[in-house]
Structure formats: structure tokens, C-alpha cells
Amino acid sequence: MESELTSVNKLEDFKALIKREGIPQHIAIIMDGNGRWAKQRGLTRTEGHRRAIKAIRTTVDACISLNVKVLSLFAFSTENIDRPAEEVNELFRLFDQALETETARLKAEGVRFITSGDLAVMPDELSRKFRDTVEATSANSRLTLNMCVMYSGRQEIARAARNLAEDVAAGRIRPENISMSHIAEKLYHPELPDADLLIRTSGEMRISNFMLWRLAYAELYFTPRLWPDFAEEDLCEAIVAYQRRDRRFGRIS
């Protein structure tokens, strides 16, 4: 009870510190630590992944109420496919279940659900479910939830290079005219703004091949909190820290 009260106070304190005019437009999160969360409790890794869904729900709701426009969540990297088949299958099963149970809710909340990554690598039935949720929420505009599955930053850039090479081969663009904006136009969902704030949970301080292009000038925020425990209070704390940074973009402040 006491810890609950402290937590409520912290949430209110952080919320009071947030300036409404400086809310990051695009927050990207590396949701890490599900396995360690489970291990600490003597539970299976799958149980940690299952609890991660609750943290996603909380974070989506908090982003809506704070008026964040884009939330990118790293849910499965192209490297994660090299985990034991049993864990990968369990993750796929959880994605499937979550899409089943959460789609109506996302739709009702005004969330536009999109994906970044190579869905074709996943079982057909699962990639179809991802596409169904994308389709069901496509008219929404309150918050864009960009779920990064079968995603890696280098793969995204390689894919952009491949697409550009096709344009060159077809005579649509000359190599000497290729600029940064041409690459940006070939990323997944070119309409998304660059990430303003990157949050990584679980205490690891690395990018792990996430969003390499769009993170170029993001503020980086690392928290020891394990993803299943990530709460509204943690998001608000990260935004308070973000608002205290001096974003210079190479210039002099």
C-alpha cells in the first residue's frame, strides 16, 4: 500500500513538471528486460513476454493523454529470430493473441497501428493478422503506434538502397542526384518524423540495431526499469529528462 502511494505521488510530481509545449512528437522505445523480469520471479521467459503486453497498453494510453503523436516500439528484431525456436514460437503466439485482443481497443482509442519490418519472414497467418490490425485502424489519427517487428535498422537502410538502385536502373533518378531525403523517402513509413526521444529499459546502454536513420539526433534515455514494470510514471520521468536537454543539432545554443 505504501509503495503504491509513493508511486502515485511520483507520477503526479513528474506530470506536474512536464511542459505541454515541449512534448516529444516521436518516442521510440527498446522494450528490453522481459526475460530478466521473469527470471527474478522464477517464472518462464514467456511469462515475462506476456507481462510486456500490459506495459505496452499502459504506455499507449499515457502517450495518448500526453498528446505524443508517434510511438515506435521495438518488439522483435531480425536478430531475435536466432533465439531458441521455442521462445520465438511463444513470442509469435503472444503477438497473435495480442492482435486478437487489442485491435478493437486500439480502434476505439483512435490509435493508427502500423508496422515496420519484414513481415514476410513470419508465418503467413501471423503476418495477415498484423495487416488486419493495420487495416482496421487505418482511419485513426490520434496516435500512430509503429510496431517494429522483424525489424533491424541496417536492414531498413539496405532495403532503401535496394529501392533506390531500382529507381536508378529504371532511369527515374541519376546517382549523382541521390541525397539524404531520397533515402528518407525509402524508409518504412516515410511520413513519420525522426525520433525525438529513445528510451531503452533494462539498463542496457546500446541501440541494438534499432532505427539507425531516424535516431540520428534523438535524445537517448536509459532506465534500469525492466520492460514489464514500465509504468506511466517512468514515461513521464523520461519526458521530464528529455525536456531538460539542450538539443543543439550541431549548432550553438
Q: Which residues of 80-110 are buried (b: 16+ CB within 10 A; e: fewer)?
A: beebeeeeeebbbebbbebbeebbeebbebe
Total residues belonging to the chain: 253
Which one of 25, 44, 58, 80 is in contact with ligand IPE (CB under 6 A)? 80
Q: Does 102 bind Mg ion (CB under 5 A)?
A: no
Query: Total residues contacting ligand IPE (rule CB under 6 A)?
Result: 17
32 flagged as catalytic:
yes
User: How does DSSP assign the chain, residue by residue?
Assistant: -HHHHHHHHHHHHHHHH--GGG--SEEEEE---HHHHHHHTT--HHHHHHHHHHHHHHHHHHHHHHT--EEEEEEEEGGGGGS-HHHHHHHHHHHHHHHHHHHHHHHHHTEEEEEES-GGGS-HHHHHHHHHHHHHTTT--SEEEEEEEEE-HHHHHHHHHHHHHHHHHTTSS-GGG--HHHHHHTSSSTTSPPPSEEEE-TT----TT--TTTTTTPEEEE----GGG--HHHHHHHHHHHHTS---TTS--
Segment near Mg ion (CB under 5 A); pick from 6-14, 24-32, 125-133, 229-237: 24-32
Lay out the site mask for ligand IPE across 81-110 (x = CB under 6 A, - = otherwise): ----------x-------------------
Q: Which is closer to ligand IPE, CB of 74 or CB of 242?
A: 74
Q: Does 228 bind ligand IPE (CB under 6 A)?
A: no
Q: Which is closer to ligand IPE, CB of 30 or CB of 198?
A: 30
Lay out the site mask for ligand IPE across 191-210 (x = CB under 6 A, - = otherwise): -----------x-x-x-x--
Q: Does 44 bind ligand IPE (CB under 6 A)?
A: no
Which one of 59, 72, 77, 116 is in contact with ligand IPE (CB under 6 A)? 77
Q: Which is closer to Mg ion, CB of 14 or CB of 210?
A: 210
**By C-alpha distance, which of 165, 104, 119, 113 is closest to 134?**
113
Cross-strand partners of 133: none
Residue nearest to ligand IPE (CB): 35
82 flagged as catalytic:
no
Query: Total residues contacting Mg ion (rule CB under 5 A)?
Result: 1
Q: Does 34 bind ligand IPE (CB under 6 A)?
A: yes
Q: Which is closer to ligand IPE, CB of 133 or CB of 202?
A: 202
Which one of 26, 30, 31, 32 is in contact with Mg ion (CB under 5 A)? 32
Task: Kindly name the residue from 9, 67, 80, 209 that is annotated as catalytic.
Answer: 80
Residues that bind Mg ion (CB under 5 A): 32
Residues that bind ligand IPE (CB under 6 A): 30-36, 74-77, 80, 91, 202, 204, 206, 208
The catalytic residue positions are 32, 80
